[in-house]
Amino acid sequence: MSVPADAHPAPHTRDRVRLTVASFLTLFIELALIRWTAANNIYLAYLTNFVLLASFLGIGVGFLRAGRAPKLLGAATVAFAVLVAYVLAFPVSLVRLSGSHQLASAFGWPVLPEWASLGILFPLIVLTLAGIAQYAAERFALFPPLEAYRLDILGSLAGIAAFSLLSFAQLPPIAWGVIAAAVLGALLGRGIRWWHVVALMVIVGLLANESLIPNQYWSPYYKIVTRPNASNHSLGVMVNNLPHQTAFPVSVLRRGEPFYFYPYRHIPRAHLHNVLLIGAGTGNDVAVALAQGAQHIDAVEIDPELQHLGSLYHPNHPYQSPRVSVHITDGRAYLNQTHARYDLILFALPDSLTLLAGQSNLRLQNYLFTIEAMRAARAHLAPGGVFSLYNYYSGFLENRYASELRLAYGTPPCIELGNRLHGRRQVVLTAALSGPAANCAHYWHGPQLAPATDDWPFPYLAHHTIPPYYRWRLAVIAIASILVIRLAGGPLRGMAGNLDLAFMGGAFLLLETKNVVQFALLFGTTWFVNSLVFTGVLLSVLAAIEVANRRRLPPPAVLYVTLAGALAVAWAVPQEWLLQFAPVPRFLLATAVAFAPIFLANLIFSQRFRDTEAPTAAFAANLLGAMLGGAAEYVALITGYRFLLIVVGALYLGAFIAGRARLGARVPIRLGRGA
């Protein structure tokens, strides 16, 4: 059923601007909160998509409440200010690695337990996003559905572009705080009251104060705090409130951290022509390699600010050496792109402590520790070359990495042990290109464990399972979300007519997640690649809207069958096949395989959307369905990421069946936000 032409009176240009700006602000604040809250609360380092789920719930609630009183934008402004104050007043930091009082908060206050810390954070995020989304939804309803959707996507594109620019410039929180406060004030317009002004001033003032803290830096990945120690000429580095690195002089490392030197026992100094260090950080490993006589070093580090701090403050100034070439990129991406051969390749304590994206369980370094990565490193060894990795490992990690090296090199690696640290110990694993590593006192003979793979890149999980930690917390979030939806939106049965759109929302988020992690493998787990993928997804959505708006589409059954075919192609094309191509053809092929399902899914959605009679309610259903997709992403911990395509297919099948049932029951057609 088509919407009559007079059902949507011609909106004013200012309504288009307001909807676009509100959509911009929604995504911009969501991205900012995903990064900023995790930088101040270490609980969020382990509950990966907490902020994402809270954001989707808030936006969905906002659309459910379109046209209802009270208007929530003013309350959202106050909630946003309270959220900023709360995060800064009750941060959670790891300050000691052992003993009592390992965690600390601000002002000497006691640390809130996790349930209280996140239990307060969750409703503040929900209310902040709900108020902005309600404002957007009421402008959304003024337009024909496809026009409203187009404006929403354009605003979202502006949001991801703005946040990417802030990441590129490595600006502190005051930058996004000023933008968010200014746009919020503009949306409030003539309805602004003195308490709104106070709330906006609190947001800007508190974020400005945080941004002016001495020895604090903001990279695209972390909040970085440095702690110089004049007594031993070292530089301690904390990231996201966790101890991360300490830059020591080589002389101190020789006495206190001898494991840095263990890999060099297995290759003569005269053969150290070309060395690759992945995870170069603030420079300890580079300084050691120089001291050991390396003639040339390729130092790979993903975080530009960590490398810059090492260049400025490492006591030995290793990055100033003409024998060192610095590469700011992802380590696995460097292995995929370089043609160089090395006498020594060293994975030097690469532990990012941060996630690839808010909706992914993948950490920046995970693709470095798969069996395929070990084989890729082996392919770059020169004759007589040696590969080493080291870190503080628990028992099963030691055995997993040793198992991977045995599979990749055909012989057990050399294992050298250092000090113990709270249940872990320093472990250096070394494998030679040809035969056992030379000058080795002990070869590994532990239990063979299943390797992490590019499809299941979770080396830190002992088994293919969803740990109880995640299961319980997801259950709590699900129960809380149902209660919030019921209280904010009325009886749940009223959303039954939008069940197909809820299925579409869940499927689309999983499809987006699959593309994020696949492009991370193919091109690097950098913030830039991540931003490009999200931009590509939004552009694909926009293209589908334009096609649906200008062309007569085939029947839904035909589009669903075509989508199933595109998903089958994505399933059939192995990632390792794409990795064999040079970057340009790899990009073209990966884009075709990954974005064809997104485009087709959005054609289905746009066709469904074009004739909707209640766009804001359906929009909410689609967003709340995306929460289902966010929870279903944890299935990858059991099955690997490729299997998510099966889940996506099942959800779109559910959408097709629900859509046919809805048409048969003559339920009014409604709209969702995404496909």
Please name which of 307, 303, 51, 19 lies closest in space to residue 151, comparing C-alpha atoms.
Answer: 19
Computed over every residue of the chain, the mean pLDDT equals: 88
**Rounded distance, CA 250 to CA 261, Å?**
10
First vs last C-alpha separation in the chain = 20
5-214+463-664 has which fold? Answer: Growth Hormone; Chain: A; (1.20.1250)
Q: Determine the 3-state secondary structure of 392 from DSSP.
A: strand
- CB-count exposure of residue 4 (10 Å: 0-12, 13-18, 19+): exposed
Say which residue the tokens 């939806």 belong to: 485
What's the pLDDT score for residue 101? 75
Cis peptide before 70 (omega within 30 of 0): yes
Task: Give the C-alpha separation, 403 to 445, whole Å.
Answer: 9
**Rounded CA separation 198/181 (Å):** 11
Give all strands (DSSP E) within 47-127, no chain letters: 93-94, 103-104
- In sequence order, what E strands does 33-160 have? 93-94, 103-104
Distance (Å, whole) CA 638 – CA 552: 42
Domain ranges for the chain, please list them.
Answer: 5-214+463-664, 223-353+371-432
CB of 45 closer than 8 Å to CB of 364: no
Q: Could you tell me whether strands 381-393 and 424-432 are parallel, antiparallel, or unpaired per DSSP bridges? A: antiparallel
Tell me which amino acid residue 97 is: L
Provide CB contacts within 8 A for 667, sequence distance 6+.
496, 497
> For the chain, which ranges sit under pLDDT 70?
1-10, 97-100, 351-363, 421-423, 489-496, 661-675
The whole-number pLDDT of residue 27 equals 95
CB burial class (10 A; 0-12, 13-18, 19+) of residue 469? exposed
Residue 442 phi, psi dihedral angles, 5° rounding: -140, 125
Distance of CA 59 to CAs 48, 125, 248, 481, Å?
19, 10, 47, 12
Q: What is the pLDDT of residues 374-420, one digit of tens each?
A: 999 999 999 999 999 988 887 788 899 999 999 999 999 999 987 77
* Token code pair at residue 91: 């941060």
Torsion of CA 141, 144, 147, 148, to 10 degrees: 10
Q: Is 83 left (phi over 0), alpha (psi -120 to 50) or beta?
A: alpha
Instruction: Give the number of C-alpha atoms closer than 13 A to the C-alpha of residue 441, restricted to the C-beta side.
Output: 6
Where b means 16+ CB within 10 Å and e means fewer, 549-577 reads eeeeeeebeebbebbbebbeebeeeebee
Distance CA(201)–CA(345), nearest Å, equals 51
**pTM of this prediction?**
0.89
**CATH code 1.10.3720.10 for 223-353+371-432:** no
Q: 278 CB contacts (<8 Å, ≥6 apart)?
A: 300, 331, 334, 335, 345, 346, 347, 348, 350, 368
Instruction: Provide the 3-class DSSP secondary structure of residue 368.
Output: helix
Q: Which residue has the tokens 């669903």?
A: 560
Alpha-carbon distance of 664 to 52, in angstroms, equals 35
Q: Between the CA of residue 295 and those of 343, 347, 622, what are the distances in Å?
A: 11, 18, 58
Distance CA 86, CA 478 (A): 24
Residue 248, both tokens: 């020591």
CA distance 445 to 334: 31
- Measured CA distances, 50 to 63, 128, 533 (Å): 20, 15, 21
Q: How far is the C-alpha of 548 from the C-alpha of 629, rounded, in Å?
A: 25
Burial environment of residue 322 by CB neighbours within 10 A (0 to 12, 13 to 18, 19 or more): exposed
Distance CA 509, CA 350 (A): 29
Strands 342-348 and 274-278: parallel
What are residue 225's DSSP bridge partners? Answer: 216, 238
In this predicted model, what pLDDT tens digit does every residue of 561-577 receive, in sequence order? 999 999 999 999 988 88
